[in-house]
Each structure stands twice: as structure tokens, then as C-alpha cells.
A and B are shown apart, each in its own frame.
Chain A
Amino acid sequence: MKILVPVKRVIDYNVKVRVKADQTGVELANVKMAMNPFDEIAVEQAIRLKEAGTATEIVAVSIGPDQSQETIRTALAMGADRGIHVPASHDTEPLAVAKILKALVDKEAPGLVILGKQAIDDDSNQTGQMLSALLGWPQATFASGVEIAGDALKVIREVDGGLEHISSKLPAVITVDLRLNEPRYASLPNIMKAKKKPLDQVSLDDLGVDASQRLTVVKVEEPPAREAGITVASVSELVDKLKNEAKVI
């Protein structure tokens, strides 16, 4: 079975993002970029399924500017077998991404697509669900446990109230949550090997997908800053402040 894993290039999660002065977006120039952390978990899960003999090939896909190829190389260094880069704007919306992925699924015929549940830049949490609807495949979102036997899929989902167990059949779309696994680091030899792994480019025209933006970003601004607080010297002072100043207890 082939597994398709989409990976997104985003601002590294440790970087404090800055809003551009002209309020058109956030500053991306000279900012450290990395693979979306949820996508690392998706790649790791695919590799584990390959190591377990469930999967035979892992195809990493990234949609975005040329530098997205670095993100694909990261996935290849972790253990994916080959990459597909779809050149597109950094701001490609989830619906367009889902359509591109659907076109790639039609072409590549994977048995499973594993995605991060959300990207930490736009925090949309839409792409996997949209893809499953477009494909008419089962969806297992926010997965913290995945078990596959033949074409039977069992997933544990993290939901607001706790956990939920569902079962389904392949082919399917899985979106992964934080606690599914701990992604491996790529070793230096694997990073070197990854440079020789195949990485193809497929254009939006080849796929026949219109990726134009549906939403207009009117403005991007900083959130209101919280006023500086005070340091209290003791628990007694804290309780006094909460009772008599903030009046919250």
C-alpha cells in the first residue's frame, strides 16, 4: 500500500511571529521555516506503517513556493521514499490544497492519506476533512492511535470530552494529533541519502486545479497587548489582590 503524506512549510514553531507594518500579513522574510509539526507526526506514522510492513511506499507532497522542496527533503530524510512538489503561492487556501491533493490521489492511488490535523500558521484545521469529503473516503480526524489490519482501520481520536474509538475501512484519510507518536530526527547519512531520492514537480495546470483565493485578507494585525502585571510577594498578598482588587474570587 502506498501512503500519501502532505507536508507544509511554515514558520518554525519556536519563532515569535511579527505582523508586517503594512498589515498585509506576517513577516516571512529571513524567518526560520520548518515542517509543520503535525505533519512531522504524519510522516512518522507513515514510516512506522512502512516499518511494520503495512505500507510499501511513502510519497511526501508539498504545495507552495520552491523552498517547499526543502520540507519535502526533510520528509525524505526521515524516511519517505519520494516527493512531489506542486508550485503554488504560500497562501494557498485549504480548499485548494484539498483539491490538489484529490487530483494527486487520483493519479497516485494511495490506500491512505495521513495529514497533520492543522497547520500552525493559519490554524485552519480543514484540509484533511475537505479531502475526505471530495474523495468520498472515510475520515479519522485528530488521531492519537492508529491500527491497521488488512483494509480494516481502527483509530482513537482526541475529542473535547476525552477519547473516541472508531473503525473504518481503507482507503481513508487520517489527520493526526500531537500524541500519536514522537517524530524521529533525520540522521546525517539519511539527510545525504534524501538528496538522491526522486522529487518531481507537478503543476497546477497538470492537475487541472484552480487554486485562486476565495477569501480576501482585509487586514492582519497584532492582538491587543496585555497590560503589564505586578509581582506579589506572598500567597497572602495574592489572595488579597484577587479578592479586593481584581474581585474575581
Chain B
Amino acid sequence: MSILVLAEHDNNELNPATLNAVAAAAQIGGDIHILVAGSGCGGVADAAAKVAGVSKVLSADSAEYANGIAENMIPLIMTVIDGYSHLLAPATTYGKNILPGVAALKDVAQISDIIRVDDADTFQRPIYAGNALATVKSGEALKVITVRTTSFEAVAADGGSAAVEAVGATGDAGKTTFGKSELSSSDRPELTSAKIVISGGRGMQDGSNFAMLEKVADKLGAAVGASRAAVDAGFVPNDYQVGQTGKVVAPDLYVAVGISGAIQHLAGMKDSKVIVAINKDEEAPIFQVADYGLVDDLFSAVPQLEGEL
């Protein structure tokens, strides 16, 4: 068996989510290759070659791959995919955008967001916002899979010494033009890989009140997240959203502040090791999943928490 893992990157750095996908590939077993497609992404290909357990890196360095446009990426993957038994990518917006098109053109089913590898054909994945777990078996010649990164511990970023092989570019499909990114920049850790996450919900009442959470986050080295309600209300940008349709996080400590705990939010954080809920409504469903619940007004509790850390 040989497995191709699609690397996620920004042309400068390999996104750590790739290391979680490689970890899932290692559990499947077989030769692991990484495809790095980008523009001016030689450094990323070199980094991918050092990833533990990887035996080959395919590098496609051409302008049309600069921004991960699916209509350009899919033809490239189609030119290299023959002979592989599995195609994996992290279940991020990047992987989710690209992989289904490959599955469709290869006429195979895709298995999204796996959380467990049973064997080379059988995988577990959450359905219904994680309220049920389905074990599915695929008889397809090519298994196309996206990997929930929080369910697989990242492999080491170094220790490997794979060969880098250049692959020919497939050209611009001319279907979609990239305009610009509006990416949030922050000195805090990235939400999906942070050890500690502190999230605010509708109870925060206003975007400016998130400053309280940021102060706590800075003391703990934590990332700041939010519930859908807080994002919909415009308190914080969309990339803060934790939940079924936002980001899935599983930190060592998750602190939910003023979040009621709708199942759609729980879907994104209930695999956290320790969950703390701070909410003045003692009936809030978030308390049912919390290891430590504090029934209190967040506007007094959060500053006090900051003071005691």
C-alpha cells in the first residue's frame, strides 16, 4: 500500500495539521508520500521531506498552485494519484475544499473527518455533530479520506529524510481567480493546536468584552475561541468559531465563558481533556459536559480569574 498525503501550507511553512494527517497515514500503514503543491514552496517541500515516516515528497511548484485553488489542485492530484491506495488530507477548509473533487473524478466515495483507523479499509467518523460515531468500511480501490486533526497526535516534524521529486505542473484551469485573503493575525497560539482554549459566547454581550478573555488567554498562553452565537452577533471574526461547522478543538483545557452549550458547539470541543464552564445560568447544558462548573456572573468571575492566575 502507498498513501499520498496532501500537504497544507502557505508556501512558506508546512501547516502542522499535515503532521496529524501523516499520523493517520502511519496508522493505516504503508509507504507515505507527501504532495506539496504551491508557488515558491521549496522550503515547504524540504520541511515535508524531514517529517518522520515519510519516504517521498512530490513537489509541484508553479504559480497556479499558489493559493490552493481547488480547480487547479484537482488536475494535479489526478496526474499523480494512480498507484496509491489512499489519499489523505487534514479535514481543514483546505482539505475539505479539494479532496471531494478528486474522489468524484476517480468515481470513489470519500470518507470525511475520520477520528480512528481500524484497518486499511475501516475507519470511524462522527456523524450528527458527534452525537453518533459511525464505523465505515470502504471497498474502493482508492480511499479518499479527510482526517480530524485533533484525533491523531502529530508525527515528529523532523527525523525523516525523504527524497523530493518534482512533478510537472498542470497549468491554470482558468476557472477561479484568487483575490485576497483577510487573515486574522494574532500572537496567541492557533486555535486548533493550542493546549488551552478560552471561548466566549453570547453571554459576552459585546465584542469589546472579549478583551477580558484575551487577558486570561495571555496569562495562560491560550488561544481565544467563540461560539457561533458570538460570531453571528459580530463580537469576533468567523475564524474564532468552535463547533460542528467551525473548528474542532481538543485542548488539555477548554474554558467556556458565557456559552450555553448547544449541541453544535459541544461537537467542536467535547473531546477536550478538561472542560471548565463559567455561566450564570445553572441550567445551561454546557454544565453537563463540564468537569468544573462555576455558576457565576462572568463579568465578575473572569477578571477575578485573571487576577488569581
Among B71-113, those with CB < 8 Å from A are 71, 74, 92-94, 96-105, 107-113
Take A218-B135, A231-B295, A239-B309 as given contacts and tell me if A179 and B129 are in contact as well, using a CB distance cutoff of 8 Å.
Answer: no
Contact B101 A130 (CB under 8 A): yes
Among B158-205, those with CB < 8 Å from A are 175-184, 192, 196
Contact B175 A137 (CB under 8 A): yes
- Most interface-central of B103, B105, B122 (chain A CB within 10 A): B103
Q: Which residue of B lies closest to A227 (CB)?
A: B291
Contact A163 B181 (CB under 8 A): yes
Q: How far apart are the CA atoms of A138 and B228 in the complex, in Å? A: 29
Residues in B neighbouring A248, C-beta threshold 8 A? 196, 252-253, 273-274
Interface size in chain B (residues, C-beta < 8 A): 86
Contact A125 B112 (CB under 8 A): yes
Contact A126 B183 (CB under 8 A): no
Among B249-278, those with CB < 8 Å from A are 252-253, 263-264, 270, 273-276
Among A112-159, those with CB < 8 Å from B are 117-118, 120-127, 129-134, 137-142, 144, 154, 157-159
Asked if A164 is at the interface (CB within 8 A of a chain B CB), the reply is yes
Asked if B131 is at the interface (CB within 8 A of a chain A CB), the reply is yes
Q: Which one of B30-38, B46-54, B57-65, B300-308 contacts A?
A: B300-308
Other-chain contact of A139, B130, B176, B177, B179 (Cβ < 8 Å): B176
Residues in B neighbouring A138, C-beta threshold 8 A? 71, 175-176
Contact B293 A167 (CB under 8 A): no
Other-chain contact of B131, A17, A98, A127, A160 (Cβ < 8 Å): A17
Asked if A249 is at the interface (CB within 8 A of a chain B CB), the reply is yes
Asked if A7 is at the interface (CB within 8 A of a chain B CB), the reply is no
Contact A249 B93 (CB under 8 A): no
Residues in B neighbouring A230, C-beta threshold 8 A? 291-293
Asked if A186 is at the interface (CB within 8 A of a chain B CB), the reply is no
Take A126-B110, A133-B101 as given contacts and tell me if A158 and B238 are in contact as well, using a CB distance cutoff of 8 Å.
Answer: yes
Q: How far apart are the CA atoms of A167 and B71 in the complex, in Å? A: 13
Asked if A238 is at the interface (CB within 8 A of a chain B CB), the reply is yes
Among B202-261, those with CB < 8 Å from A are 220, 228, 231-232, 237-239, 244-245, 247, 252-253
Asked if B70 is at the interface (CB within 8 A of a chain A CB), the reply is yes
Q: Which residue of B lies closest to A161 (CB)?
A: B183
Asked if A30 is at the interface (CB within 8 A of a chain B CB), the reply is no
Contact B104 A134 (CB under 8 A): yes
The binding surface of chain A is classed by DSSP as: mixed
- Most interface-central of A124, A133, A142, A158 (chain B CB within 10 A): A133
Other-chain contact of B112, A124, A157, A169, A217 (Cβ < 8 Å): A124
Contact A166 B178 (CB under 8 A): yes
Smallest beta-carbon distance A232→chain B, Å: 5
Residues in B neighbouring A33, C-beta threshold 8 A? none
Contact A95 B109 (CB under 8 A): yes
A residues adjacent to B (C-beta < 8 A): 11, 13, 16-17, 19, 26, 38, 93-95, 98, 117-118, 120-127, 129-134, 137-142, 144, 154, 157-169, 177-179, 214-223, 226-227, 229-232, 234-236, 238-239, 241-242, 246, 248-249
B residues adjacent to A (C-beta < 8 A): 67, 69-71, 74, 92-94, 96-105, 107-113, 122, 126-140, 175-184, 192, 196, 220, 228, 231-232, 237-239, 244-245, 247, 252-253, 263-264, 270, 273-276, 287, 289-296, 301, 304-305, 308-309
Other A-B pairs, 15, CB within 8 Å; known A163-B181, A242-B276 = A17-B132, A94-B109, A94-B110, A120-B128, A130-B103, A164-B180, A179-B238, A216-B138, A218-B135, A223-B132, A234-B294, A239-B305, A241-B292, A246-B253, A248-B253
Q: What are 28 sample pairs from A and B whose C-beta atoms fall under 8 A apart?
A: A13-B264, A19-B132, A95-B108, A95-B110, A118-B245, A121-B127, A126-B112, A127-B100, A129-B99, A134-B104, A138-B175, A154-B179, A159-B239, A161-B183, A163-B183, A163-B238, A164-B67, A165-B180, A165-B181, A166-B178, A169-B175, A177-B238, A214-B108, A222-B132, A223-B130, A223-B132, A230-B292, A239-B309
